Amino acid sequence: MQERVLLAHGSGGKLSHDLVERLLVPIFNNPLLEKLDDSASFPASGRLAFTTDSYIVTPIFFPGGDIGRLAVCGTVNDLSMVGARPLYLSVSLIVEEGLPIAELERVARSMQEAAEEAGVTVITGDTKVVNHGSADRLFVNTAGIGKVPEGVDISGSNARPGDAVIVSGPLGDHGIAVMSQREGLSFAAGVESDVAPLNHLVQAMLRASGRIHALRDPTRGGLASTLNEIARQSQVGIRIDEELVPVRDAVRAACEMLGLDPLYVANEGKLVAMLPEEDAEPVVRAMRKERHGSAAAIIGRVCAEEPGRVVMRTRLGTSRIVDMLTGEPLPRIC
Protein backbone atom coordinates (compact mmCIF):
# COMPACT_ATOMS: atom_id res chain seq x y z
CA MET A 1 0.00 0.00 0.00
CA GLN A 2 1.16 3.57 -0.77
CA GLU A 3 2.56 5.69 2.01
CA ARG A 4 0.23 8.61 1.39
CA VAL A 5 -3.38 8.93 0.32
CA LEU A 6 -3.63 9.60 -3.43
CA LEU A 7 -6.56 10.91 -5.44
CA ALA A 8 -6.82 7.39 -6.86
CA HIS A 9 -7.72 6.11 -3.39
CA GLY A 10 -11.06 7.83 -3.80
CA SER A 11 -11.67 6.95 -7.44
CA GLY A 12 -13.64 3.76 -6.80
CA GLY A 13 -10.93 1.61 -8.43
CA LYS A 14 -8.46 -0.86 -7.04
CA LEU A 15 -6.78 1.55 -4.64
CA SER A 16 -10.18 2.52 -3.18
CA HIS A 17 -10.99 -1.11 -2.54
CA ASP A 18 -7.61 -1.67 -0.96
CA LEU A 19 -8.10 1.26 1.36
CA VAL A 20 -11.56 0.15 2.44
CA GLU A 21 -11.07 -3.60 2.55
CA ARG A 22 -7.51 -3.83 3.79
CA LEU A 23 -7.36 -0.84 6.10
CA LEU A 24 -10.76 0.38 7.28
CA VAL A 25 -13.02 -2.69 7.38
CA PRO A 26 -10.58 -4.77 9.48
CA ILE A 27 -10.35 -1.93 11.99
CA PHE A 28 -14.11 -1.49 12.41
CA ASN A 29 -14.44 -5.26 12.21
CA ASN A 30 -18.14 -6.26 12.43
CA PRO A 31 -20.47 -8.48 10.38
CA LEU A 32 -22.85 -5.68 9.32
CA LEU A 33 -20.04 -3.62 7.82
CA GLU A 34 -18.18 -6.59 6.36
CA LYS A 35 -21.08 -7.40 4.04
CA LEU A 36 -20.03 -4.29 2.09
CA ASP A 37 -23.53 -3.83 0.67
CA ASP A 38 -24.74 -0.39 -0.37
CA SER A 39 -26.63 -0.10 2.90
CA ALA A 40 -26.40 -1.83 6.23
CA SER A 41 -29.72 -3.24 7.39
CA PHE A 42 -30.80 -4.18 10.89
CA PRO A 43 -34.02 -4.78 12.82
CA ALA A 44 -35.40 -1.95 14.98
CA SER A 45 -38.45 -1.21 17.08
CA GLY A 46 -39.73 1.54 19.37
CA ARG A 47 -38.64 5.19 19.33
CA LEU A 48 -35.36 5.85 17.59
CA ALA A 49 -33.06 8.87 17.76
CA PHE A 50 -31.05 9.92 14.71
CA THR A 51 -28.34 12.59 14.48
CA THR A 52 -25.38 13.71 12.38
CA ASP A 53 -22.40 16.02 12.77
CA SER A 54 -19.29 16.91 10.77
CA TYR A 55 -15.92 17.33 12.42
CA ILE A 56 -13.21 19.76 11.40
CA VAL A 57 -10.40 20.35 13.85
CA THR A 58 -6.87 21.72 13.53
CA PRO A 59 -4.66 19.94 14.45
CA ILE A 60 -6.27 16.53 13.87
CA PHE A 61 -4.25 15.09 16.76
CA PHE A 62 -4.38 17.04 20.02
CA PRO A 63 -3.59 16.33 23.68
CA GLY A 64 -6.16 13.84 24.97
CA GLY A 65 -7.65 12.88 21.60
CA ASP A 66 -7.93 13.27 17.85
CA ILE A 67 -10.53 13.95 15.17
CA GLY A 68 -11.58 10.29 15.12
CA ARG A 69 -12.36 10.03 18.82
CA LEU A 70 -14.07 13.43 18.58
CA ALA A 71 -16.28 12.31 15.68
CA VAL A 72 -17.45 9.15 17.46
CA CYS A 73 -17.94 10.76 20.87
CA GLY A 74 -19.69 13.82 19.42
CA THR A 75 -22.39 11.74 17.75
CA VAL A 76 -22.68 9.29 20.66
CA ASN A 77 -23.17 12.29 22.95
CA ASP A 78 -25.76 13.94 20.73
CA LEU A 79 -27.77 10.71 20.88
CA SER A 80 -27.24 10.49 24.64
CA MET A 81 -28.55 14.02 25.21
CA VAL A 82 -32.08 12.86 24.37
CA GLY A 83 -31.58 9.86 26.63
CA ALA A 84 -31.09 7.43 23.72
CA ARG A 85 -28.82 4.38 23.90
CA PRO A 86 -26.52 4.73 20.88
CA LEU A 87 -26.51 1.65 18.61
CA TYR A 88 -25.00 2.25 15.19
CA LEU A 89 -22.81 4.85 13.52
CA SER A 90 -21.87 5.77 9.98
CA VAL A 91 -18.45 7.22 9.22
CA SER A 92 -17.66 9.41 6.22
CA LEU A 93 -14.09 10.47 5.60
CA ILE A 94 -13.10 13.34 3.33
CA VAL A 95 -9.36 13.06 2.94
CA GLU A 96 -6.99 15.64 1.50
CA GLU A 97 -4.63 13.96 -0.96
CA GLY A 98 -1.21 13.50 0.57
CA LEU A 99 -2.34 12.59 4.08
CA PRO A 100 -0.01 9.86 5.37
CA ILE A 101 -1.90 6.58 5.40
CA ALA A 102 -0.44 5.89 8.83
CA GLU A 103 -2.32 8.94 10.13
CA LEU A 104 -5.57 7.80 8.55
CA GLU A 105 -5.06 4.43 10.19
CA ARG A 106 -4.36 6.06 13.55
CA VAL A 107 -7.58 8.06 13.30
CA ALA A 108 -9.62 5.00 12.30
CA ARG A 109 -8.20 2.95 15.18
CA SER A 110 -9.00 5.75 17.58
CA MET A 111 -12.59 5.81 16.25
CA GLN A 112 -12.95 2.10 16.83
CA GLU A 113 -11.52 2.44 20.34
CA ALA A 114 -14.04 5.17 21.19
CA ALA A 115 -16.84 3.12 19.61
CA GLU A 116 -15.93 0.13 21.76
CA GLU A 117 -15.83 2.33 24.84
CA ALA A 118 -19.33 3.57 24.01
CA GLY A 119 -20.59 0.14 22.92
CA VAL A 120 -21.60 1.26 19.42
CA THR A 121 -20.81 -0.27 16.03
CA VAL A 122 -19.73 1.46 12.83
CA ILE A 123 -21.89 -0.29 10.25
CA THR A 124 -21.55 1.85 7.14
CA GLY A 125 -19.15 4.39 5.73
CA ASP A 126 -17.68 6.26 2.80
CA THR A 127 -14.30 7.64 1.76
CA LYS A 128 -13.61 10.49 -0.63
CA VAL A 129 -10.27 12.01 -1.55
CA VAL A 130 -10.04 15.66 -2.63
CA ASN A 131 -7.25 17.69 -4.23
CA HIS A 132 -4.52 19.10 -2.10
CA GLY A 133 -5.83 22.39 -0.67
CA SER A 134 -9.52 21.48 -1.06
CA ALA A 135 -9.69 20.14 2.50
CA ASP A 136 -7.53 20.53 5.57
CA ARG A 137 -6.00 17.04 5.96
CA LEU A 138 -9.12 15.20 7.07
CA PHE A 139 -12.80 15.97 7.58
CA VAL A 140 -15.02 13.42 9.26
CA ASN A 141 -18.78 13.08 9.28
CA THR A 142 -20.57 10.65 11.54
CA ALA A 143 -24.28 9.92 11.85
CA GLY A 144 -25.78 7.78 14.56
CA ILE A 145 -28.92 5.90 15.47
CA GLY A 146 -29.97 5.18 19.03
CA LYS A 147 -32.95 3.77 20.87
CA VAL A 148 -34.90 5.95 23.27
CA PRO A 149 -36.00 3.92 26.31
CA GLU A 150 -39.68 3.76 27.14
CA GLY A 151 -40.90 6.73 29.18
CA VAL A 152 -37.85 8.92 28.57
CA ASP A 153 -38.68 12.44 27.39
CA ILE A 154 -35.61 14.65 27.53
CA SER A 155 -35.43 17.93 25.63
CA GLY A 156 -33.87 21.38 25.83
CA SER A 157 -37.42 22.72 26.04
CA ASN A 158 -38.34 20.69 29.14
CA ALA A 159 -36.43 22.57 31.86
CA ARG A 160 -38.81 23.78 34.58
CA PRO A 161 -38.64 26.29 37.41
CA GLY A 162 -37.40 24.50 40.50
CA ASP A 163 -34.98 22.28 38.56
CA ALA A 164 -31.37 22.00 39.70
CA VAL A 165 -28.62 22.71 37.15
CA ILE A 166 -25.87 20.07 37.18
CA VAL A 167 -22.59 19.88 35.24
CA SER A 168 -20.66 16.63 34.94
CA GLY A 169 -17.17 18.04 35.56
CA PRO A 170 -14.65 20.85 35.03
CA LEU A 171 -15.17 23.09 32.01
CA GLY A 172 -13.01 24.28 29.13
CA ASP A 173 -10.50 21.41 28.87
CA HIS A 174 -11.11 20.59 25.21
CA GLY A 175 -10.97 24.16 23.88
CA ILE A 176 -7.80 24.99 25.79
CA ALA A 177 -6.10 21.69 24.86
CA VAL A 178 -6.73 22.26 21.15
CA MET A 179 -5.76 25.93 21.32
CA SER A 180 -2.57 25.17 23.23
CA GLN A 181 -1.54 22.57 20.65
CA ARG A 182 -2.42 24.86 17.74
CA GLU A 183 -0.71 27.94 19.07
CA GLY A 184 2.09 26.30 21.02
CA LEU A 185 1.00 27.84 24.31
CA SER A 186 3.45 26.46 26.81
CA PHE A 187 1.49 27.77 29.81
CA ALA A 188 -1.38 25.43 28.98
CA ALA A 189 0.88 22.38 28.83
CA GLY A 190 -0.70 19.41 30.56
CA VAL A 191 -4.30 20.36 29.73
CA GLU A 192 -5.90 17.44 27.88
CA SER A 193 -9.13 17.37 25.92
CA ASP A 194 -12.01 15.82 27.83
CA VAL A 195 -13.38 14.15 24.67
CA ALA A 196 -15.34 11.10 25.87
CA PRO A 197 -18.56 9.17 25.22
CA LEU A 198 -21.19 10.11 27.79
CA ASN A 199 -23.79 7.41 27.11
CA HIS A 200 -22.91 5.27 30.14
CA LEU A 201 -23.02 8.36 32.36
CA VAL A 202 -26.47 9.27 31.01
CA GLN A 203 -27.80 5.75 31.53
CA ALA A 204 -26.53 5.86 35.14
CA MET A 205 -28.33 9.18 35.61
CA LEU A 206 -31.53 7.73 34.16
CA ARG A 207 -31.30 4.85 36.64
CA ALA A 208 -31.01 7.37 39.50
CA SER A 209 -33.93 9.55 38.39
CA GLY A 210 -36.82 9.07 36.04
CA ARG A 211 -37.42 12.80 35.92
CA ILE A 212 -34.48 14.23 33.97
CA HIS A 213 -35.94 17.16 32.04
CA ALA A 214 -33.08 18.49 29.94
CA LEU A 215 -29.60 17.33 28.93
CA ARG A 216 -27.10 18.99 26.64
CA ASP A 217 -23.39 18.77 25.96
CA PRO A 218 -21.77 22.21 26.10
CA THR A 219 -19.51 21.92 23.03
CA ARG A 220 -18.77 25.00 20.91
CA GLY A 221 -19.85 28.17 22.69
CA GLY A 222 -19.30 26.48 26.04
CA LEU A 223 -21.56 26.32 29.09
CA ALA A 224 -22.75 29.91 28.61
CA SER A 225 -24.20 29.28 25.17
CA THR A 226 -25.76 25.94 26.18
CA LEU A 227 -27.51 27.46 29.21
CA ASN A 228 -28.80 30.31 27.05
CA GLU A 229 -30.18 27.85 24.49
CA ILE A 230 -32.04 25.92 27.17
CA ALA A 231 -33.29 29.11 28.88
CA ARG A 232 -34.75 30.28 25.55
CA GLN A 233 -36.14 26.91 24.44
CA SER A 234 -37.77 26.23 27.82
CA GLN A 235 -38.73 29.88 28.44
CA VAL A 236 -37.21 29.83 31.93
CA GLY A 237 -34.59 31.85 33.78
CA ILE A 238 -31.35 30.19 34.87
CA ARG A 239 -29.27 31.24 37.89
CA ILE A 240 -25.76 29.90 38.37
CA ASP A 241 -23.15 30.57 41.03
CA GLU A 242 -19.60 31.35 39.83
CA GLU A 243 -18.17 29.77 42.98
CA LEU A 244 -19.77 26.41 42.14
CA VAL A 245 -18.78 26.20 38.47
CA PRO A 246 -15.85 23.74 38.28
CA VAL A 247 -12.83 24.86 36.22
CA ARG A 248 -9.33 23.37 36.51
CA ASP A 249 -6.58 25.73 37.66
CA ALA A 250 -4.54 25.17 34.48
CA VAL A 251 -7.56 26.04 32.32
CA ARG A 252 -8.34 29.10 34.43
CA ALA A 253 -4.72 30.22 34.13
CA ALA A 254 -4.68 29.73 30.35
CA CYS A 255 -7.96 31.63 30.04
CA GLU A 256 -6.54 34.49 32.14
CA MET A 257 -3.49 34.69 29.88
CA LEU A 258 -5.59 34.72 26.71
CA GLY A 259 -8.39 36.94 27.94
CA LEU A 260 -10.96 34.16 27.46
CA ASP A 261 -13.83 33.20 29.73
CA PRO A 262 -13.96 29.45 30.55
CA LEU A 263 -17.76 29.65 30.38
CA TYR A 264 -17.41 30.09 26.62
CA VAL A 265 -14.71 27.50 25.96
CA ALA A 266 -15.66 24.20 24.25
CA ASN A 267 -16.08 20.85 25.99
CA GLU A 268 -16.37 17.43 24.33
CA GLY A 269 -16.97 15.16 27.30
CA LYS A 270 -19.25 17.14 29.59
CA LEU A 271 -22.97 17.53 29.98
CA VAL A 272 -25.41 19.90 31.65
CA ALA A 273 -28.54 18.44 33.21
CA MET A 274 -31.75 19.95 34.55
CA LEU A 275 -33.94 17.90 36.82
CA PRO A 276 -36.12 18.40 39.93
CA GLU A 277 -34.14 19.67 42.91
CA GLU A 278 -35.24 16.66 45.06
CA ASP A 279 -33.53 14.26 42.64
CA ALA A 280 -30.35 16.32 42.29
CA GLU A 281 -28.36 14.78 45.14
CA PRO A 282 -28.98 11.13 44.19
CA VAL A 283 -28.22 11.89 40.54
CA VAL A 284 -24.95 13.65 41.41
CA ARG A 285 -23.98 10.69 43.63
CA ALA A 286 -24.67 8.29 40.75
CA MET A 287 -22.71 10.51 38.33
CA ARG A 288 -19.68 10.63 40.61
CA LYS A 289 -19.41 6.83 40.47
CA GLU A 290 -19.00 7.03 36.70
CA ARG A 291 -15.63 7.64 35.02
CA HIS A 292 -16.83 10.68 33.09
CA GLY A 293 -18.86 12.18 35.92
CA SER A 294 -16.49 11.94 38.88
CA ALA A 295 -16.47 15.72 39.43
CA ALA A 296 -20.19 16.32 38.85
CA ALA A 297 -21.61 19.31 40.73
CA ILE A 298 -24.79 21.31 41.20
CA ILE A 299 -24.07 24.83 39.92
CA GLY A 300 -27.44 26.58 40.04
CA ARG A 301 -31.15 26.39 39.51
CA VAL A 302 -33.92 27.10 37.06
CA CYS A 303 -36.43 29.82 37.93
CA ALA A 304 -39.55 31.36 36.47
CA GLU A 305 -38.24 34.95 36.58
CA GLU A 306 -36.67 36.55 33.50
CA PRO A 307 -37.36 33.76 31.02
CA GLY A 308 -34.61 33.34 28.45
CA ARG A 309 -31.95 34.92 30.61
CA VAL A 310 -28.95 33.41 32.39
CA VAL A 311 -27.64 35.29 35.42
CA MET A 312 -24.53 34.41 37.40
CA ARG A 313 -23.74 35.38 40.97
CA THR A 314 -20.08 36.39 40.95
CA ARG A 315 -17.57 35.57 43.65
CA LEU A 316 -18.05 39.11 44.94
CA GLY A 317 -21.73 38.48 45.50
CA THR A 318 -22.72 40.78 42.63
CA SER A 319 -24.60 39.44 39.64
CA ARG A 320 -24.13 39.63 35.92
CA ILE A 321 -25.80 38.45 32.76
CA VAL A 322 -24.19 35.53 30.98
CA ASP A 323 -25.00 35.85 27.28
CA MET A 324 -24.50 33.60 24.26
CA LEU A 325 -21.08 33.52 22.66
CA THR A 326 -20.92 36.06 19.88
CA GLY A 327 -18.43 35.40 17.11
CA GLU A 328 -15.22 33.50 17.74
CA PRO A 329 -13.52 33.78 21.10
CA LEU A 330 -10.39 35.83 20.40
CA PRO A 331 -7.48 36.61 22.66
CA ARG A 332 -7.16 40.29 23.59
CA ILE A 333 -4.64 42.74 22.15
CA CYS A 334 -3.40 44.62 25.17
Q: Kindly tell me which of 3 and 249 has the beta carbon lying closer to another protein.
A: 249
Q: Kindly tell me which of 105 and 261 has the beta carbon lying closer to another protein.
A: 261
Least gap, CB of 244 to another protein (angstroms)? 12
Q: Kindly tell me which of 27 and 311 has the beta carbon lying closer to another protein.
A: 311
Least gap, CB of 173 to another protein (angstroms)? 16
Backbone angles phi, psi at 159, to 5 degrees: -65, 140
Sort strands 61-62 and 65-66 into parallel, antiparallel or unpaired: antiparallel
Least gap, CB of 234 to another protein (angstroms)? 17
Sort strands 65-66 and 297-303 into parallel, antiparallel or unpaired: unpaired
Helices 199-208 + 277-288 axis angle, to 10: 140
Q: Kindly tell me which of 102 and 244 has the beta carbon lying closer to another protein.
A: 244
- Rounded Cα gap, residues 231 and 251, in angstroms: 26
Q: Kindly tell me which of 151 and 330 has the beta carbon lying closer to another protein.
A: 330
Ranges within 299-328 binding another protein (CB under 8 A): 303, 305-306, 309, 311, 313-321, 323, 326-328
**Alpha helices of the chain — where are they, by DSSP H?**
14-17, 25-28, 31-34, 67-80, 101-118, 173-183, 199-208, 222-234, 249-258, 277-288
Least gap, CB of 248 to another protein (angstroms)? 10
- Residue 94 identity (one-letter amino acid): I
Contact (Cβ atoms closer than 8 angstroms) between residue 118 and residue 75: no
Exposure string for 10-45, b = 16+ CB within 10 A, e = fewer: beeeebbeebbeebbbebbeeeebeeeeeebeeeee
Q: Kindly tell me which of 150 and 316 has the beta carbon lying closer to another protein.
A: 316
Q: Kindly tell me which of 38 and 316 has the beta carbon lying closer to another protein.
A: 316
Least gap, CB of 164 to another protein (angstroms)? 15
Least gap, CB of 82 to another protein (angstroms)? 28
Least gap, CB of 330 to another protein (angstroms)? 4
- Residue 295 identity (one-letter amino acid): A
Helix/strand/coil (H, E, C) string of 26-57?
Answer: HHHCCHHHHCCCCCCCCCCCCCEEEEEEEECC
- 186 touches another protein (CB under 8 A): no
Q: Kindly tell me which of 33 and 310 has the beta carbon lying closer to another protein.
A: 310
Sort strands 65-66 and 138-147 into parallel, antiparallel or unpaired: unpaired
Helix %, strand %, coil % for the chain, to 5? 35, 25, 40
Contact (Cβ atoms closer than 8 angstroms) between residue 233 and residue 158: no
Least gap, CB of 46 to another protein (angstroms)? 41
Least gap, CB of 167 to another protein (angstroms)? 18
Ranges within 154-183 binding another protein (CB under 8 A): 183
* CA–CA distances in Å: residue 70 to residues 64, 76, 211: 10, 10, 29
Computed on alpha carbons and rounded to an integer, the radius of gyration of the chain in Å comes to 21
Ranges within 252-271 binding another protein (CB under 8 A): 252-253, 256, 259, 261
Q: Kindly tell me which of 114 and 274 has the beta carbon lying closer to another protein.
A: 274
Measured from the Cβ of residue 85, the count of other Cβ atoms closer than 10 Å reads: 21
Q: Total residues at the site for another protein (CB under 8 A)?
A: 33
**Residues 226-245: x/- map of binding to another protein (CB under 8 A)?**
-----------x-x-x----
Residues forming contacts to another protein in the complex (CB under 8 A) are 183, 237, 239, 241, 249, 252-253, 256, 259, 261, 303, 305-306, 309, 311, 313-321, 323, 326-328, 330-334
